[in-house]
Amino acid sequence: MVTGVEAPLAVTRVGVVGLGLIGGSVARTLVAAGVDVVATDPDGATRAQAWDAGVRTVGSAAEVLVERPDVLVLAPPLAALPAVLAELAAELPRLVADGGPLPVLTDVGSVKAPVRAAARVAGLEDRYVGAHPMAGTEESGFAASRDDLLPGCTWAVTVAPTTAAGDLLRVLALIAGPLRGVARVVEDATHDAAVALVSHVPHVLATELLNLTTAAPARALALGLAAGSFRDGTRVARTDPRRTQAMVAGNADAVVGALRDATRHLDALADALEGGDDAAVTAFFDAADPVRAALAEAAAGDASPRTETVALGEPGWRERLVSLGAAGAVVARTGRDAITLAVPPPSPK
């Protein structure tokens, strides 16, 4: 099991824009690791709360940028991101004129294609490396953030033809170093399709379980009888519905396709149950056997990955990283000019 990455680059100062659950957890984790953090949030009370928790705060995203962090982590709501990027873009020419290093931009959003598009509009795409930690709770806001939420979690790190090798290495160094995460390198569309399946659609289905219960005549009794399966199946639906709505709407293209598929599957199951078609019912419940086997194998930890090294100067290095990441490879080690990945054996068919 790969638990981290050996990275030669040092990340000594990090900027954070947005101090909600994930942004706040990034800031808290880095402060606990001894990293110099400068952060901001549009809400003054949140900035004060973060300051009291040991996070150095300033008044704006532009003020974070002028401190020249090695990496600037963007963690505002998706709807606020274009304005934040425009603010950074307006300040950047002065930093360029003054000389010196410029920050790499990354983010923690659960959808990547819209973020890259916003960075492109702002003229900042060439400094952007996408990132998404697969972590969270049903709570929100800085008060819910923790310094133990992110260590050990898997991050998707997204690249595009504009991604510079040095910028990618810097983001990997942050994730694998003080944030103590595990990284998979992928591209935006593949990431968005994958998180639709494992995050966004589950939020929708969990909400629908609550909707069904809300409208049911037996609601009071059902809630009185509810146990582990209902609790686990609806946990993510107990968060702020506006936050969930924004997340799902931000990845609408991928979510719609998955929901259409789910609707067809459930309609077919209802028809089979109603018609007494035992073979079709059995087929529904057995269709997931390959994924059950893969999950059981991953939980057992018996699979031995092979390693593969991608030289960052070779033609097609980005495409090779993306191909391996889509196959489940995680970053095991980085050098100045290469990334070594741990590649799992093929999943059961």
Sign of CA dihedral 134, 4, 334, 55: positive
Residue 310 belongs to some domain of the structure: no
- C-beta pairs of 30-39 under 8 Å, 24+ apart in sequence: 30/178, 30/179, 31/55, 31/147, 32/147, 33/178, 33/179, 33/180, 34/178, 35/11, 35/178, 36/12, 37/13, 38/13, 38/14, 38/63, 38/64, 38/67, 38/69, 39/15, 39/64
The identity of residue 328, as a single letter, is G
The Cα 345–Cα 124 span in angstroms is 37
Q: Is residue 307 part of a domain?
A: no
pLDDT tens-digit profile of 72-106? 999 999 999 999 999 999 999 999 999 888 999 99
**Helix, strand, or coil here: 149?**
coil
Residues 159 and 211 in one domain: no
Give the chain's domain count: 2
102 and 175 in one domain? Answer: yes
* Domain co-membership, 90 together with 139: yes
Domain termination residue (choose one: 287, 304, 330): 287
CATH at 253: 1.10.3660.10
Amino acid in the structure at residue 128: Y
Are residue 150 and residue 239 in the same domain, yes or no?
no
- Note the pLDDT tens digit of each residue in 259-309: 999 999 999 999 999 999 999 999 999 999 999 988 887 777 766 788 999
Do 153 and 82 lie in one domain? The reply is: yes
User: Is 63 within the bounds of a domain?
Assistant: yes
Which residue segment(s) compose the domain that 171 sits in?
13-186
Domain end among 144, 163, 186? 186
Assign residue 47 the CATH number of its domain: 3.40.50.720
pTM of the full structure: 0.88
Domain boundary among 186, 220, 244: 186
pLDDT tens digits along 159-192: 999 999 999 999 999 999 999 999 999 999 999 9
CB 172 within 8 A of CB 226: no
Distance CA 207, CA 203 (A): 6
